[in-house]
Amino acid sequence: MKRILNIETTKYVGKKMKVCGWVQTIRSHGKIIFIDLRDRSGILQLVFTPKDEKLYEVAQKLRPEWVVGVEGKIKERPKAMVNPKIKTGNVELEPEKLEIFSKAKTLPFSIETPGYEINEEKRLKYRYLDLRRERLKKNLMVRQKVIQFIREFLIKEGFVEIETPILTKSTPEGARDFLVPARLQPGKFYALPQSPQQYKQLLMVAGLERYFQIARCFRDEDARADRQAEFTQLDIEMSFVEQDDILNLIEKIYIELVKKIFPEKKITKIPFPTISYKEAMAKYKNDRPDLRKNKNDSNELAFCFIVDFPMFEWSKTEKRWDAVHHPFTRPQTDNINEIKKNPEKILAHQYDFVLNGEELGGGSLRSFKPEILEAVFEVMGHKKSEAKKKFQHLFSAFEYGVPPHAGIALGLDRFLAVILNEQSIREVIAFPKTGDNRDLMMDVPAEVTKEQLKELHIKIVKSVNKQ
Ligand code: ASP
């Protein structure tokens, strides 16, 4: 018999059907055993009575989280027994056949609560059980809806979704790179992309004009509570546009997204306020102001754009000028002497997107004139020849007809965490890592075999203070 979902049983009252899932709860009332069977669609009540003694005996052995298949008749529940709290609350199934697919040990924690009270390391170690929790399942489903919405929206607007390589060359986004040794080129390394920045710019040179990607980015940052070594961003690049075109597009996406997927949420102000960096720092003392009218209202969404950032900031650790966004950002002046002479005075065509005091992401108009790009690298302390060598692909591409272009990248994990009122992005990622980048379920990072290291021409120098 073909299996149907629990949620579908309400359509088949009086019919014999098959359902499958996990035993969630067992309640024995004298001679009746009630079982809540859980599948991806929800809960269905099964009712075993001693009418069929053999079956009843097997049912008595069932334990929580065993996986079973059950055939039987769907019945309307007596009025007094209707449970309005579940979607199948007006029906129940009277089993005639029961198959036990697998048994389960006692779970290390309860999956029936939202789970915040449980030690997080334990939850992450048994993530596949943690994800059985209603709250997390819902978060993953909302995530999927948001991604689907964005895809459909952008494709309708003429964007092309393009995958860019994961094994690539370092792109400066302000973090350390994850390196991957190249077995076939001993001594050489790939870097995992901190973002698809250079590829998306090269796609503009290629003439694609409107690119997007739900892109995975990798940044090896020091342990920070709410950062992930790998995270997902909506990455966009467009040709022949001005700053307003990008901001208007983003505004439209998020207004429609909220309307469609989160209708209970209220956006504080439309159009989204655009505030200069200078004004934000003067008025709010930070560049990601929380513009909510009522910070206790979990349904309020205050979006805003911050624009006109400084192009450079002084890096105390490296004792040199660094790009506030990244070096591909276009300064607001074309005057090369001015850029080199007074870097602290130069503003950038850079914009950030902020929601309820959290930076969701940012982007910029790009320097497409090679001489400006060179000047920026020079201010950042790269010798002309060095920069040209390191970013040779970009400089060379820009010699073959490059359109003016601009883009933005928006963190998907952060957005979901804010809109779902979750404290951590780990609550909206299926398999997150800890703050110090460990995957407790897979137990990585992990050591590898001597043979693997040898193949890669790598020697591990053990530190004396072995941890
Ligand atoms: N690549 C930038 C980032 O990941 C965004 C952009 O400029 O488009 O932050």
Our answer on whether the CB atom of 407 is closer than 6 Å to any ligand 1 atom is yes
- Cβ of 432 below 6 Å from ligand 1: no
CATH 2.40.50.140 intervals, the chain:
6-102
The CATH number of 127-309+348-368+403-428 is: 3.30.930.10
- State the burial class of residue 195 (Cβ atoms within 10 Å of its Cβ: 0-12, 13-18, 19+): buried
Task: Supply the mean pLDDT for the chain.
Answer: 95
Ligand 1 neighbour 94 (Cβ under 6 A): no
What pLDDT, on the 0 to 100 scale, is given for residue 465?
58
pLDDT at 166 over 70: yes
- Is 327 touching ligand 1 by the criterion CB < 6 Å? no
Choose one of 168, 177, 195, 364 to mutate for the ligand 1 pocket test, by most ligand atoms within 8 angstroms of C-beta.
Answer: 195
All CATH 3.30.930.10 domain ranges of the chain, comma separated, are: 127-309+348-368+403-428
Going by their DSSP bridges, the two strands 358-365 and 405-411 should be labelled as antiparallel
Cβ proximity of 311 and 347 under 8 Å:
yes
**Across 340-364, average pLDDT:** 97
Q: What is the pLDDT of residue 435?
A: 87
* Average pLDDT of span 312-322: 92
| 196 C-beta closer than 6 A to ligand 1 | no
Task: Please give the backbone phi and psi of residue 244, each rounded to the nearest 5 degrees, phi first.
Answer: -60, -35
Contacting residues for 34 by C-beta, under 8 A, at least 6 apart: 26, 27, 28, 45, 46, 47
**Closest to 253 (Cα-Cα) out of 365, 159, 357, 175:** 159
Topology classification of domain 6-102? OB fold (Dihydrolipoamide Acetyltransferase, E2P) (2.40.50)
70 ligand 1 Cβ < 6 A: no
Q: Is 364 in the pocket of ligand 1 (CB under 6 A)?
A: yes
- Quote the ligand 1 centre to 440 CA distance (angstroms): 29
Determine if ligand 1 sits within 6 Å of the CB of residue 329.
no
pLDDT at 200: 98
Name the residue type at position 224.
R
Question: Is 80 exceeded by the pLDDT of residue 171?
Answer: no
For ligand 1, mutation pick of 235, 246, 305, 328 (most atoms within 8 Å of CB): 235
If one residue of 326, 350, 354 were mutated to test the ligand 1 pocket, choosing by the most ligand atoms within 8 A of its CB, it would be 326
User: Binning pLDDT at 50, 70 and 90, where does residue 172 land?
Assistant: confident
Helix (H, G, I), strand (E, B) or coil at 69: strand
Distance from chain centroid for Cα 83: 36
Q: For residue 117, count other CB atoms closer than 10 A to its CB.
A: 8
Question: Greatest CA separation found in the chain?
Answer: 92
Regarding the beta carbon of 173 and ligand 1, being less than 6 Å apart is answered yes
- Mutate which of 171, 173, 197, 311 to test ligand 1's pocket (most atoms within 8 Å of Cβ)? 197
Render pLDDT for 197-253 as a digit per residue (tens, 0 to 9): 999 999 999 999 999 999 999 999 887 767 789 999 999 999 999 999 999 999 999
Pocket probe for ligand 1: among 170, 177, 325, the residue whose CB has the most ligand atoms within 8 Å is 325
**Contact assessment for residue 64 and residue 23, using Cβ atoms and an 8 Å cutoff:** yes
How many A from CA of 198 to the centre of ligand 1? 10
- For residue 320, give the amino acid letter: R
CB 130 within 8 A of CB 114: no
Residue 235 burial (CB count, 10 A):
25
Residue in the structure block whose two tokens are 């914009």: 351
**Residue 112 CB contacts under 8 Å (≥ 6 apart), including other chains:** 24, 25, 133
pLDDT digits 0-9 by tens, 414-424: 999 999 999 99
> Which pLDDT band, with edges at 50, 70 and 90, does 317 fall under?
confident
Question: Is 409's C-beta closer than 6 angstroms to any atom of ligand 1?
Answer: yes
pTM: 0.94
47 lines ligand 1 (CB under 6 A): no
Query: Which pLDDT score is estimated for 467?
Result: 47
User: What pLDDT digit, counting tens, does each position of 72-89 carry?
Assistant: 999 999 999 999 999 999
- Ligand 1 atom nearest the C-alpha of 407 is 8
Ligand 1: which residue has its CA nearest to atom 7? 363
pLDDT range class, residue 293, cuts 50, 70, 90? very high
For 283-300, letters b (16+ CB in 10 Å) and e give eeeebbbebeeeeeeeeb
Q: How far is the CA of 160 from the centre of ligand 1 (A)?
A: 18
Q: Residue 383 — pLDDT band, cuts 50, 70, 90?
A: confident
Q: Is the per-residue pLDDT at 466 higher than 80?
A: no
Taking Cα atoms as reference points, which of 154, 172, 265 lies closest to residue 217? 172
The 10s digit of each residue's pLDDT in 3-53 is 999 999 999 999 999 999 999 999 998 899 999 999 999 999 999 999 999
Beta-carbon contacts of 26 under 8 Å, excluding residues fewer than 6 positions away, are 33, 34, 35, 62, 63, 64
Q: In DSSP terms, which residues pair with 239 in a beta bridge?
A: 405
Contact in structure between 304 and 343 (CB atoms under 8 Å) = no
Overall average pLDDT of the 419-433 stretch? 96
> What is the pLDDT averaged over residues 175-182?
94
Q: Return the SS3 of 226.
A: coil
First to last CA, the chain: 57
Give the model confidence (pLDDT) of 88-146 as tens digits.
999 999 999 999 999 999 999 999 999 999 999 999 999 999 999 999 999 999 999 99
